[in-house]
Amino acid sequence: MKHFPESEFIINADGSVFHLHLQPEQLRDKIILVGDPGRVDLVASFFDTREFEVSSREFHTIGGTYKGKLVMCLSHGIGTDNIDIVVNELDALANIDFSTRYEKPQFRQLTLVRVGTSGGLQPHVPIGTPVIAEKSIGFDGVLNFYAGRDRVCDLDFERAFCEFVKWNPLWAAPYVVDADSELVARIGGDDMVRGVTISANGFYGPQGRELRIPLADPELNKKIEAFKYGSQVVTNYEMESSALAGLAKLMGHKAMTVCSIIANRVAHHANPNYKTAVSDLIQTVLERI
Ligand code: R1P
């Protein structure tokens, strides 16, 4: 069994994990992830009971029950760098013994569902549509730092995508990874679209938004919209699903992302009143998780 020294795996003085500040006893197997710490209260407003609440930086967690199911909701902030922290620390809470610092002999599997917001890239995903990231394209590079990334990635899709959009090798190499198929089948109904989601490593330039400084490739989004892989097209942009799907897969957990479309990048429309759609989506996911 692997042993983890203090420098590699930091436990706070109160026995909680470094960034999330959660204790191993607080961990629930079914976890809803949201970006915004404020949205955790919205998710918890649907719980029957609230058993604990922990807040540290952008990581806000409430644990409780939903219709008798033990659940917790945790915010991850923005970006796959945060997902690297969240998924590693949740896995440590489940699979490392905090008193001995050894990996536990028995693997404990977690179910992680991110409910987010997103920008749509295709006409069949108008504002208000919930889109499951059945496949994620990570522009961020986080997964490339882990051994075994080729084992969990769709290498043919990666090659086809890079060739079609004339990917600049100066940008982080994209990785393409599928969400957990059993989880997608369970959470995704006829009320959700299954798509290909890009997790960008920024909100502006990396998603083709040009404010005062010009883009390296102003045509990139046009090429992304036109890219086809069999019957699959790129449906939407967000900033976390790739690392969530990839790290969970490497560790043996079940993970997926579903996002409500709040802006249409092609038609240049945004809906600032997206809260009802997100709230409905949260309730649907709580029912099905
Ligand atoms: C950017 O505004 C943020 O919104 C989207 C992106 O993924 C990024 O985190 O998702 P959330 O609403 O879940 O945070």
How does pLDDT run across 97-107, given as a tens digit for each residue?
999 999 999 99
* Residues in contact with ligand 1 (CB, 6 Å cut-off): 34-36, 78, 116-117, 203, 238-240
Q: Which of 234, 235, 237 is nearest to 208 (CA)?
A: 237
Give the pLDDT score at 268.
Answer: 87
Confidence at 82, pLDDT banded by 50, 70, 90: very high
Q: Does the complex come out with an ipTM higher than 0.90?
A: yes
Mutational pocket test of ligand 1: of 239, 258, 278, the residue with most ligand atoms within 8 Å of the beta carbon: 239
Give the pLDDT score at 266.
Answer: 85
Give the pLDDT score at 271.
Answer: 87
Mutational pocket test of ligand 1: of 78, 83, 262, the residue with most ligand atoms within 8 Å of the beta carbon: 78
Which token pair is 235? Answer: 């449906």
pLDDT of 78 > 90? The answer is: yes
pLDDT, one tens digit per residue, over 10-41 is: 999 999 999 999 999 999 999 999 999 999 99
User: Ligand 1 atom closest to Cα of 78?
Assistant: 9
Residue type, 66: Y
Contacts of 106 (CB under 8 A, 6+ apart): none
pLDDT of 278 > 90? The answer is: yes
Half-sphere exposure of 226 (CA within 13 A, CB side): 9
The three-class DSSP label of residue 36 is: coil
> What is the pLDDT of the chain when averaged over all its residues?
97
Burial group, residue 42, by CB count within 10 angstroms (0-12, 13-18, 19+): middle
Looking at domain 24-288, its CATH architecture is 3-Layer(aba) Sandwich (3.40)
pLDDT of 267 > 90? The answer is: no
- What's the rounded mean pLDDT across residues 262-286? 92
User: Ligand 1 atom closest to Cα of 79?
Assistant: 9
Cα-Cα-Cα-Cα dihedral sign, residues 19, 110, 135, 267 = negative
Nearest-CA residue for ligand 1 atom 5 is 117
